[in-house]
Amino acid sequence: MSHPLRLGIAGLGTVGAGVVQILRKQSELLSARTGRAIEISAVSARDRSKDRGVNLSSYAWEDDAVALAKRDDVDVFVELMGGEDGPAKDATEAALALGKDVVTANKAMLAMHGQALAEAAENASAVIKYEAAVAGGIPVIKSLGEGLAGNEITRVMGVMNGSCNYILTRMQDAGLPYADVFAEADGLGYLEADPALDVGGIDAAHKLAILSSLAFGTRVDFAGIELEGIERVSIEDINAAADMGYKIKLLGVAQMTGRGLEQRMQPCLVPETSPLGQLQGGTNMIVLEGDAVGQIVLRGPGAGAGPTASAVLSDICDIARGYRGAVFGQPAAGLVAATPALSQRPAAYYLRLALHDKPGALAKVATVLGEAGVSIDRMRQYGHDENAAPVLIVTHKTTRADIDHALAAMGKTAVVDGDPVALRIEEV
Ligand code: NAP
Ligand code: HSE
């Protein structure tokens, strides 16, 4: 058997403690599978005195993650602290500079500094592995980078933030408004320390940026993502969408088009009978489409100690087995700068508006849509509430620009009350 693989683990929170637990419990299984022992040499976190529910007494302690990364008895630096900059990035760079391999779950760091880190890794003949950074326990990085390596990837999409999917499905199931369910999720500890990372779509967009790079051979381009969170999704829209046969999801979509790379993370409607429409609670789902394979749907836990540590262990096992490979699926120098598509592919749209109870009001709205080049597929009007009636419209495929044009014109008709809502309906 080869010499042991020696780990330095920085970050002993939910994921880090989970990784230590698996390494302790499954050491025989892991060494049988990889052909070598996998050992922890040293660990690091902020507070040495904290009880983490795992026995750390046999490992050296470092207060400083950079010092941990540089230790002579550390072959692989395992970064589980988080944060796009700061000690996570400093220690990752320190490890790479010494030619050490890195395993990380840090999507924020990779989304913001992926290209530079990939170049640093390749210059040092080291690897960075990050299965846990996207969709927790779902092996999507290996599926895309290895399993589908023979395909031209045509589209990547999915629900990549469990907290948002929990909030949206709980709103529907309990008939509760966003603010109530947000408070409930926060109380249950489901949200990041900065909840804007979840509900603002940022965490999910970090993940999408990484998947886009792997799928399309482009440099990670977080700034190129059209981003909208779930804060403005109302219970009225969730109920109305359900009435028309749809569910609302925070959906990430990446697709290479003739107009450039389209990357979107936004609330969308999907058919309620589709796999994405059926996705409940905090579960994640990633849909991968390739020219040879067709469509693959991956579903599973996107967060939590066990699932995320499971993904970290798969990377550690890869390194122990000698499986290497380029960080984003091809040599970093060959990754091209993405040209962001300036407009979205045409799609059907869901519109919800409140119409004043006046003769000809509905006709005016139809005229405005027609004049903007937007064709109506289905329409439903509900009973008048005092002096306004909710109207739902599903359009035929159209552009966002035409929808925006129509909405602006509607505001001038004096028959529409308040701001209409427009949400894209994604073909899934
Ligand atoms: P966490 O529970 O907050 O743990 C973070 C750990 O890092 C703690 O042990 C903390 O030390 C340590 N740490 C934080 N800042 C530090 C600093 N400046 N110097 C030294 N140590 C520091 O976070 P987590 O949920 O385990 O997440 C870790 C990483 O995994 C993040 O990149 C996250 O995005 C990613 N991830 C998490 C999940 C999940 O389900 N939680 C899923 C996928 C990916 P103390 O304990 O002493 O405070
Ligand atoms: N806050 C994230 C989520 C954790 O809810 O999916 C995993 O990245």
With a cut of 70, say whether residue 28 has pLDDT above it. yes
Burial (CB count within 10 angstroms: exposed 0-12, middle 13-18, buried 19+), residue 96: buried
Distance (Å, rounded) from C-alpha 59 to C-alpha 61? 6
Q: What CA dihedral angle connects 197, 302, 157 and 155, to 10 degrees?
A: 120
Mutational test site, ligand 2, from 14, 160, 161, max ligand atoms within 8 Å of CB: 161
How many whole angstroms separate alpha carbon 168 and alpha carbon 401? 27
Q: Of the ligands numbered here, which is closest to the C-alpha atom of 200? A: 2
Residue 152, classed as helix, strand or coil, is coil
Tell me: the pLDDT tens digits for 165-174?
999 999 999 9
Please tell me the predicted confidence (pLDDT) of residue 69. 98
Query: Is any atom of ligand 2 closer than 6 Å to the C-beta of 302?
Result: yes
Give the catalytic positions in this structure. 207
Residue type, 20: V
- The 10s digit of each residue's pLDDT in 318-356 is 999 999 999 999 999 999 998 999 888 999 999 999 999
Proximal ligand: closest to the CA of 195? 2
Transcribe 313-339 into DSSP letters: HHHHHHHHHT----TTSS-GGGPBPP-
426 to 15, 228, 296, 350: CA distances (angstroms): 33, 15, 17, 10
Kindly report, residue by residue over 219-265, the tens digit of the pLDDT.
Answer: 999 999 999 999 999 999 999 999 999 999 999 999 999 999 999 99
DSSP state for residue 80 in the 8-state scheme: -
Ligand 1 centroid, distance to 48 Cα (angstroms):
14
CB 178 within 8 A of CB 198: no
Q: Give the pLDDT confidence score for residue 358 in this predicted structure.
A: 86
Atom of ligand 1 nearest to the CA of 83: 32
Instruction: Yes or no: say if 148 and 358 are a contact pair by the CB < 8 Å rule.
Output: no
> What's the pLDDT band for 9 if we cut at 50, 70, 90?
very high
- The average confidence (pLDDT) of the chain is 96
CA-closest candidate to residue 208, choices 308, 313, 288: 288
pLDDT tens digits, residue range 187-208? 998 999 999 999 999 999 999 9
Name the percent of the chain lying above pLDDT 70: 100
**What would the mean pLDDT of 124-135 be, rounded to a whole number?**
98
**Helices 400-410 + 361-371 axis angle, to 10:** 140
Kindly state if the Cβ of 141 falls inside 6 Å of ligand 1.
Answer: no
Tens digit of each residue's pLDDT (9 = 90 or more) over 346-394: 999 999 999 998 889 999 999 999 999 999 999 998 887 777 889 999 9
Determine if ligand 2 sits within 6 Å of the CB of residue 198: yes
- CB of 106 within 6 A of ligand 1: the answer is yes
Yes or no: say if 16 and 44 are a contact pair by the CB < 8 Å rule: no
Scan for tokens 């040293």, then name that residue.
42
Q: What is the pLDDT of residues 257-313, one digit of tens each?
A: 999 999 999 999 999 999 999 999 999 999 999 999 999 999 999 999 999 999 999
- Inter-CA distances, 246 with 50, 65, 237, Å: 46, 47, 10
Ligand 1 centre from 80 Cα, in Å?
Answer: 5
d(CA 76, CA 316): 8
What is the token pair recorded at 130?
A: 């990050």
**pLDDT over threshold 80, residue 50:** yes
* Angle between helix 162-174 and 178-187 (nearest 10): 130
Contact 14 CB / ligand 2 (< 6 Å): no
Closest atom of ligand 2 to CA, residue 198? 1
Helix (H, G, I), strand (E, B) or coil at 240: helix
* Number of neighbours of residue 161 by Cβ within 10 angstroms: 30
| CA separation for the pair 271, 428 (Å, rounded) | 8
Tokens of 225: 């993502």
Cα(159)–Cα(408) distance, integer angstroms:
31
According to DSSP, the residues that pair with 157 across neighbouring strands are: 253, 287
- 108 by Cβ neighbours in 10 Å (0-12 / 13-18 / 19+) ranks as buried
**pLDDT score for 384:** 73
Residue 270 β-bridge partners? 247
What lies within 8 Å, CB to CB, of 258 at 6+ separation is none
- 161 Cα nearest atom in ligand 2: 6
Average pLDDT for 401-410: 96
Enumerate the β-bridge partners of residue 39: 6
Nearest to 209 by CA among 131, 250, 264, 163: 264
Question: From atom 2 of ligand 2, which residue's Cα is the shortest distance away?
Answer: 161
Q: Locate the DSSP E strands across 11-63.
A: 38-44, 60-62
CA 203 – ligand 2 centroid, Å = 7
Count CA atoms within 13 Å of residue 51 on its CB side. 1
Q: How far apart, in Å, are the Cα atoms of 169 and each of 76, 184, 276, 304?
A: 40, 13, 12, 19
Query: How much is the average pLDDT of 43-62?
Result: 97
Testing ligand 2's pocket by substitution, the residue of 163, 168, 188 carrying the most ligand atoms inside 8 A of its CB is 163
Would the pLDDT of 178 be above 70? yes
List the one residue out of 155, 99, 129 whose CA is nearest residue 329.
129
Confidence band for 1, pLDDT divided at 50, 70 and 90: low
> Which helix (H) or strand (E) covers residue 149, if one does?
none
